Chains A and B, each alone.
Chain A
Amino acid sequence: MKKINAQTIKKDFPIFTTYKNLVYLDNAATTQKPRVVIDALTHHYRTANANIKRGIYDLSEQATKAYEQARWKVAQFCGVSCAQHIIFAKNTTEAINLVAHSFARASLKRGDEILLTLMEHHSNIVPWQMIAQEKGLKLRFVGITKNGELDMVDLKKKVTRRTKLFAVTHASNVLGTINPIKKLTAFFHKRGIPVLVDGAQAVGHMPVNISDLGCDFYAFSGHKMYAPTGIGVLYVSEKYITSMEPFLGGGDMVLSVSETKTTFQDAPERFEAGTPPIEAAVALGAATDYLKKLGMENIRRHETELITYALKKLANIPGITVFGPKTAEQKTGVIAFSLNDIHPHDLASLVSEKNIALRAGHHCAMPLHRFLDVTASARISFSVYTTKNDIDALHGTLTEIITVLHAHHEH
């Protein structure tokens, strides 16, 4: 096992050459891009740019090959043996919407239930609400414990004979909580219920083997794992991929079109209407190469060390409340917190003055914040290039802010 040297890794990311003092702690929103990913984009434009699939000339065939190779790389990276089960979407949100449209809308009936959890990002709530409203489905939410984990007692209570899908996040984008997906999948499969996993905060931060997890749908975003925006991934299991209805209609997803009728391709083309973000897919392939080289086990260990360090440091800040599990083993590198009398938005403005980028708000998880009984929280999140120095810089700035603001009380 290799130890990650984040200081050295920072050199792989040109943004840190442009902004030497940048302390970037908003990786759960999007990660910075390594040179190899930026180079893959420009290399594609310089050497292989053409539209894919239908061009009968070398350059187009080269572009098609690069695009399909990226699909293969992604499949390999997340433990999927057949690349045809990897569908490229715009991002996690679109991938979940695809399932809501092509599976839930097409297969579920009035009165059927979809089980969600209170720790979901809006992208794993809103698509279901929209379909539920249209189809007369019912949404139920599994609660969470005080420690920020799924409440398994509540979960068992909320499963009914009408439950037709369980949609859950792999790792919470606020609490960092890692959910036991393999165990959950086994539980739901025993009852014949398919499982969708929102992997946006997991892939790129820990080893993820979708075949091993056994879930039916797994969605994630490229831009949260060092690839460009505009490319996301949906894995669909063999059981559902052949029966799902198309998503968007248009070019590339059809076999033949007449004035009155269209026949559709099989997956993955069936779900990829129109020209996809070819170069972004290629760059996502490059990002998986980069992560493989670093080693996902190594990355997870690096982030675990940072979580332990940060939790310990933050505990020293007067008036702080840290949300979610308190041990690194239970969570990803995402720590949400609030300070007694400084609103998270004000805090984000203040630390920004010291080149520290953190997130403040509800992080697209309003139901979770209502459960936590706060309107907003501040959130820091880590990645391969995050160093203990970054956490020290945040700690120093928080301490300074609190000292300056409370100075008048002592006069």
Chain B
Amino acid sequence: MNINRFKKIWEHAQLSPYAGTLKHPSISGIGENPLCGDTLRIDFAVKKGMITDAKFTHHGCALSAVAASILVESLIGTRTTAIQKLDEYALLKLMETPISPARLNCVLLALHVAKSARPK
């Protein structure tokens, strides 16, 4: 990956406004990529079927953090049904940068975690 493109990703990962946890999430998902050790949690606040807020906590590479940040941002203001409708292609399109096959799992962790979100 090109260093300048990566720098944007890296900075985004460090400065994401969606980093953190919600005090009283309506639904949460937790997951990991066992092969690389990345862990991710996503909290959603839901009111009347609408996602009103979302946060993620993450331990791992910048790419998986940014994927979580972008995914969360795209979901705020949509109905919860949008989570299940999201697919790999939609997320990769949101990433706006080509992802090599070896890094695909880094990006897709966010998708799997979001889809696994359940009431706590």
Spell out A's residues near B (CB within 8 Å): 342-346, 349-350, 352-353, 361-362, 369, 375-376, 400-401, 404-405, 408
B17 on the A face (CB < 8 A): no
26 A-B contacts (beta carbon < 8 Å): A344-B61, A345-B36, A345-B103, A345-B106, A346-B1, A346-B10, A346-B62, A349-B1, A349-B63, A349-B100, A353-B2, A361-B35, A361-B36, A362-B37, A369-B37, A375-B37, A375-B38, A375-B60, A376-B36, A400-B3, A401-B3, A404-B4, A404-B7, A405-B7, A405-B10, A408-B7
User: What is the distance, in angstroms, from B33's C-beta to the closest C-beta of chain A?
Assistant: 10
Q: How far is the CA of A369 from the CA of B36 in the complex (A)?
A: 11
A350 and B3 contact, Cβ closer than 8 Å, known pairs A345-B103, A361-B36, A376-B37? yes
**B4 to A375, Cβ gap below 8 A?**
no
Residues on A with beta carbons closer than 8 Å to the beta carbon of B36? 345, 361-362, 375-376
Residues on B with beta carbons closer than 8 Å to the beta carbon of A346? 1, 6, 10, 61-63
User: What is the distance, in angstroms, from B105's C-beta to the closest C-beta of chain A?
Assistant: 10
Q: How far is the CA of A38 from the CA of B43 in the complex (A)?
A: 55
B residues 1-40 in Cβ contact with A at 8 Å: 1-4, 6-7, 10-11, 35-38
Q: How far is the CA of A401 from the CA of B10 in the complex (A)?
A: 12
Q: How far is the CA of A343 from the CA of B64 in the complex (A)?
A: 11
Residues on B with beta carbons closer than 8 Å to the beta carbon of A369? 37
Residues on A with beta carbons closer than 8 Å to the beta carbon of B118? none
B59 on the A face (CB < 8 A): yes
User: What is the distance, in angstroms, from A379's C-beta to the closest C-beta of chain B?
Assistant: 14
**B35 to A353, Cβ gap below 8 A?**
no
A375 and B7 contact, Cβ closer than 8 Å, known pairs A345-B106, A350-B1? no
Residues on A with beta carbons closer than 8 Å to the beta carbon of B4? 404
- Chain B, residue nearest A400 (CB): B3
Q: How far is the CA of A265 from the CA of B6 in the complex (A)?
A: 59
Spell out B's residues near A (CB within 8 Å): 1-4, 6-7, 10-11, 35-38, 59-63, 100, 103, 106
Pick the contact of A353: B3, B37, B62, B106 (CB < 8 A): B3
Residues on A with beta carbons closer than 8 Å to the beta carbon of B59? 375
Residues on A with beta carbons closer than 8 Å to the beta carbon of B3? 350, 353, 400-401, 404-405
* Extra A-B contacts (6), CB below 8 Å, given A342-B62, A405-B6, A408-B11: A344-B61, A346-B1, A346-B61, A401-B3, A404-B7, A405-B7
User: What is the distance, in angstroms, from A293's C-beta to the closest C-beta of chain B?
Assistant: 36
- If over half of A's interface residues share one DSSP class (helix, strand or loop), that class is named, otherwise mixed; here it is helix
Q: How far is the CA of A362 from the CA of B36 in the complex (A)?
A: 7
- Chain A, residue nearest B37 (CB): A375
User: What is the distance, in angstroms, from B73's C-beta to the closest C-beta of chain A?
Assistant: 21
User: What is the distance, in angstroms, from A300's C-beta to the closest C-beta of chain B?
Assistant: 32
User: What is the distance, in angstroms, from B24's C-beta to the closest C-beta of chain A?
Assistant: 30
**A349 to B6, Cβ gap below 8 A?**
yes
Residues on A with beta carbons closer than 8 Å to the beta carbon of B2? 353
Q: How far is the CA of A273 from the CA of B2 in the complex (A)?
A: 49
Residues on A with beta carbons closer than 8 Å to the beta carbon of B62? 342-343, 346
A345, A361, A376, A401 interface centre (most CB from chain B within 10 Å): A345
A345 and B63 contact, Cβ closer than 8 Å, known pairs A350-B1, A401-B3, A405-B7? yes
Q: How far is the CA of A287 from the CA of B12 in the complex (A)?
A: 48
Q: How far is the CA of A401 from the CA of B7 in the complex (A)?
A: 9
Residues on B with beta carbons closer than 8 Å to the beta carbon of A400? 3
User: What is the distance, in angstroms, from A410's C-beta to the closest C-beta of chain B?
Assistant: 14
Q: How far is the CA of A246 from the CA of B6 in the complex (A)?
A: 53
Q: How far is the CA of A342 from the CA of B100 in the complex (A)?
A: 18
Q: How far is the CA of A352 from the CA of B101 in the complex (A)?
A: 14
